[in-house]
Every structure is written in structure tokens, then in C-alpha cells.
Amino acid sequence: MRILFVLALTFVVLSASLHAQPMRVLFVGNSYTHYNNMPKILEHMAEDKGISIEVTMDAKSSHTFEMHAKRKEVYNTIRSNKWDYVILQGFSRELAQEQAIIDTLSIPYVKMLLDSIYANNSCTNVLLYQTWGYDGGYQADSLDIDWSYQTMSDRIHQGYLYLSQQLNLSIVPVGKVWETVKENHPQIQLYQMDKQHPSLAGSYLVASCFYAALFKTEPNVGFSAKLDQKQAAILGEIAGAYVLMNKNRYQINKNTVEIDVKPNNDNKKVVHLTANYPNAKNVTWDFGDGMTESALKTRHVYGKPGTYEIKIKVQDACGERLLKRKVSI
């Protein structure tokens, strides 16, 4: 039987001087972000695993991308730190519109935000936070709209895919994960009573999606945000599985390292290593057994079983990063 071991790389990012720095994350969104203080849930989930992270939120209820782009405060927040990640979230129905409307009412304002983000730090990774459909769908007679939950969910998903393609941005597919939980675990109440905003379980699911997207590993239950441990485990497992399985589709694999351990024909474990840094000037792998290699993509066979710490040094326009991961052979 051929067995595939996939080791997601939870990494520590170090500066050029090799002093550890916390990951700095900014959320720009609305009530779908600030309900239940979702960014703080993410922060606690990471800290529970010993990951150093600083999460900041600039979230205003009912705000669209246009409304954010016209607020002076959001630019002050963007300039307040050298963010590793900035997450952008639009109004709940904004990306469910036709592409021509997205071209006019969303894309120009996302570009304004991107200009500010990249002017502040050209190495910031920007992620789009794809939201979900209302539990009862959306009806507006004056606009001749009668969307079921599924129709609204599909339209939002397509809208974020379109925005991603137009601006070359990564997506965290929260709405698709939400759809999976809603279909397979209807006993878990993801919504508030208004059938739009996230319950605590819904916010925990959102945070789990971002945990998987940022750290490329499943958010195995530690911090459960006062949820039942079993329920938290279900949400984390589904979020992690979907996000990691679809990381290429949603471009979540940019600026990451992947390590796969596969047995070869002699049943020896071969470590396959890929550095997804397209603009890297140099990538050096230290396999922890005295052997090194410089390449974006390589493989390595260890001479004997054991636990090894792999160090990956990446040099690009953003400086030098040192990433570490232990593998057991």
C-alpha cells in the first residue's frame, strides 16, 4: 500500500538578524470580522500552539470596500505597522453582484487599499476574506432579487474568485467551508438569530480557516473559545482540511514552504521539499544531517531513522527569512 504523509509547515519567521518576530496581521472588514472578536480568537488559537502573533482589527459595521477606502482612519492603521498579512473583507452582498458592478463599485476601491498597503510594506501578503450566504437567502423585490442561501453563497464565491483573478490576490474560502459545515453538520448553529452574522461557533470556524491559511496546518483543538471541545474539533478539522486541500486553487500557497514525506519503491521515506517563493534570489535547505542544497524544489533521503530539524533560508527583495520544521523519519 502506498502511503502519503503530508507535513504542513508551521514555521517561525526570523528577520535578517535572525531574531524572532511575531507575525503581524491586520483585519480590515465589518461586523462579519468583529462579531465575537474573531481576530482575538485567531490570536488565542495561535498562542495556544506557541506561535507568536499580533492581530489588529479595523472593522466597521456594514462597510463596503468603497467605504473603507474613503476612511482616513484605515490608512492610519495600515501605516501603523509593517504588516505580514492584511485581510480584506467586503460587505456581505457586495461581491454577489454582477461582474460589471464589481468592476465599478469594488475593484477601484480595493486597488486604493492595496496601493496604501504595498506603499507601507511591499512584502505584505494580502488575503481576501470570502464570506457566506444568509441562512434564508436574500430577497429584495425592488431589485428583482430572490436568492436562496445556495444561490447567494455561489454568487459570493464567484465574486471573490473574480476579484482575486483581477487583482492577483489570495482567497481564504470561509464561505465554502461554511457551506460544508452547514450541509454536513446542521446541528452546529453557525448563525446569530438574524440568520446573517456569525454565532460564536461561526466565528470560531472563521478563525480556524485563517489559522489554516496563515500557518498551513490544521488548527487542532487547544483553545476552543468556550465551545464544546467536540464541536470545536469538528469545525477546526473541516476548516483545515478544506483550506489546505484547496490552497493552490485559492493561491494560499504563495510565499510558503511545503514538505511531503513519501515512501519510494524501496519503502524508504523520501522528503520532497518545495519553496513557493517565485521571486526568491536564493533558497538554501539545511536538512539537519550535515547535508545542504540550494534550489526552489528538491528532495532528500535520510541515511537513518530519527527526528531532524530542517532549516530553510529564503532571500528575496523582502530580506532574509529563516524557516524551521522538524520531521520524523
Q: Where are the domains of the chain?
A: 21-245, 256-328
Which CATH number is associated with domain 21-245?
A: 3.40.50.1110
> Can you tell me which residue has the cell 460589471?
100
Q: Rounded to the nearest 5 degrees, what angle is found at the Cα of 112, between the Cα atoms of 53 and 92?
A: 70
Q: What is the pLDDT of residue 111?
A: 98
Which of the four pLDDT bands, split at 50, 70 and 90, describes residue 317?
confident
Mean pLDDT over 249-274 rounds to 83
3 state SS for 60-95:
CCCCCHHHHHCCHHHHHHHHCCCCCEEEECCCCCHH
**Cα(240)–Cα(217) distance, rounded to whole angstroms?**
7
Q: Answer positive or negative: Cα dihedral of 240, 246, 249, 255.
A: positive
Q: Would the pLDDT of 1 be above 70?
A: no
Label residue 50 by pLDDT band (50, 70, 90): confident
Closest C-alpha among 271, 189, 192 to residue 228: 189
pTM over cut 0.85: no
CB of 50 closer than 8 Å to CB of 296 = no
195 Cβ neighbours under 8 A, 6+ residues apart = 134, 135, 136
Class of domain 256-328: mainly beta
Q: Give the residue-averaged pLDDT of 155-161.
A: 98
Residue 47 has pLDDT above 50, yes or no: yes
Backbone angles phi, psi at 59, to 5 degrees: -130, 125
- pLDDT for residue 277 is more than 90: no
Give the contacts of 232 (CB within 8 A, at least 6 positions apart).
204, 221, 224, 225
| Residues paired with 21 in a beta bridge | none
> In the numeric block, which cell numbers belong to residue 72?
482616513
| The pLDDT of residue 295 is above 50 | yes
Rounded to an integer, the average pLDDT of 214-223 is: 85
pLDDT at position 2 over 80:
no
**pLDDT score of 327:** 84
SS3 227: coil
Q: What is the largest CA-CA distance in the chain?
A: 71
Residue 182: the pLDDT is 97
Asked whether residue 20 carries a pLDDT value surpassing 80, the answer given is no
Residue 309 bridge partners (DSSP): 326
Q: How far apart are CA 23 and CA 114, in angstroms?
A: 19
Backbone angles phi, psi at 300, to 5 degrees: -150, 140
Per-residue pLDDT at 132: 98
Measure the CA–CA gap between 121 and 104, rounded to whole angstroms: 27
Which one-letter DSSP state was computed for residue 58? E
Express each pLDDT in 168-206 by its tens digit.
Answer: 999 999 999 999 999 999 999 999 999 999 999 999 999
Q: What is the band of 257 on the pLDDT scale with cuts at 50, 70, 90?
A: confident
Confidence tier at 260 by pLDDT (50, 70, 90): confident
Tell me if 130 sits within 8 A of 114, measured CB to CB. Answer: no
